[in-house]
Amino acid sequence: MERIEKNLEYNTYCFGCGEENPIGAKLNFFKISNESVKSNFLVPETWGGWGKIIHGGLQTVLLDEVSAWVIVALLKEQGLTIKAQIEFFRPLYIEEEVEIIGKVEGVDNRDITIISVLRNKKGETCTKGTFVYRKVEMDRIKELAKIPL
């Protein structure tokens, strides 16, 4: 499996992948095919929702992040999330490692659909996200994010 180089330049504080964010996930990514990317993450106890179940919003963060890296690393595009649909099938727990996989579902002009899943240590799909990203030029992303050009 090929490790994906994270060239973050101006975005080293990203909550999902940035190395400088002290409370971020600091995810690393690996290419598993020309259409899919994966990451593994040991979920800290601070990510709890009900009891030891991982907070659903933070599960969504993991799915969104791997989806974005499918676009950046495999499609060589930049985009912004315009739609997310999340399905929760079974609980995932803090202090356990999860596998996060994202795969290209389709490209329709400027819109890219990615299907991402979270799997528990047994390999069961626990959470699924369908994300639609809109291709956006980097200068426009920098402008929207208030990053100096």
**Residue 1 falls inside a structural domain:** no
pLDDT digits (tens, 9 = 90+) for 33-80: 999 999 999 999 999 999 999 999 999 999 999 999 999 999 999 999
Residue among 65, 51, 132 at smallest CA distance from 98: 65
Tally the domains of the chain.
Answer: 1
Beta strand ranges found along 4-148 (DSSP E): 30-31, 36-42, 79-88, 97-108, 111-119, 125-135
Decide if 117 contacts 127 (C-beta within 8 A): yes
CATH number at residue 113: 3.10.129.10
How far apart CA 94 and CA 58 sit, in angstroms, is 11
Q: Sort 130 into a burial class: Cβ within 10 Å, 0-12 / 13-18 / 19+.
A: middle
**Residue 2 falls inside a structural domain:** no
Q: Residue 149 — pLDDT band, cuts 50, 70, 90? A: low
How far apart CA 10 and CA 18 sit, in angstroms, is 10
